Copies of this chain bind each other. A is one copy, B any other.
Amino acid sequence: MSSISIIGTGNMARTIGARAVAGGNTVEVMGRDHDKAADLAKALGGGATTGEWGAVPAGDIVIVALLADNVVPVVAHYGDALAGKVIIDISNPFNATADGLTHREVTSIAQEAAKAAPASASVVKGFNTIFRHVLEQGRPDVFIAGDDAQAKAIVEAFITSLGLRPMDAGGLEMAHWLEGAGVLTMGLARHGVGGWNFALGVTELPA
């Protein structure tokens, strides 16, 4: 089982935190608003603790569960506190109409977060192709991307502890296309696919 810290106290923090506790992982919650973080930790149960905003996270894995615009600034704010950590970026930098990304160039929040993080930290993109309510109720596939094989193995073990299938898409440059897969998922949902109750996944050929 893994030791994880979640930066953020919103719906996605709550959903991932609940699954993490159910999967037997150790969970810490860090919020800019300490009371909100403490409330979420209490709601999660399972011995979840509350950390101090900006302090060294207790977890080996740090899940940044914030709106896309806040991810890079908060990673920069934490700075050396993230040394040696595996950072998971789950964000979707959708444009205002959610049919494209805020960056027009070929980059991603994960790649920009990696630039802002200490060199000893590793950033992995993941979970962004899954609607929160689907993660809460279902068994969606979890696509990941990252440059550090050891970090990805740690994230894969965590995903497996949640009862989900990790799907390695490649290096961190693939985070751009995972963010694009988030846009695609929105497009499908808006055009009648699966009544919003679906996720992109891998369909294997029958053996």
Contact = CB atoms under 8 A, between A and B. Distances in A.
Interface stretch (A5-13, A47-55, A80-88, A132-140): A132-140
Determine how many copies of this chain the complex contains: 2
Contact of A184 (B100, B140, B177, B194): B177
Given A167-B193, A173-B100, A198 B205 contact: yes
B184 A169 contact: yes
A72 interface: no
Interface residues of A, number: 43
A61 interface: no
Contact of A106 (B100, B134, B143, B204): B100
A23 interface: no
Contacts of A145: 187
B202 A193 contact: yes
Contacts of A140: 203
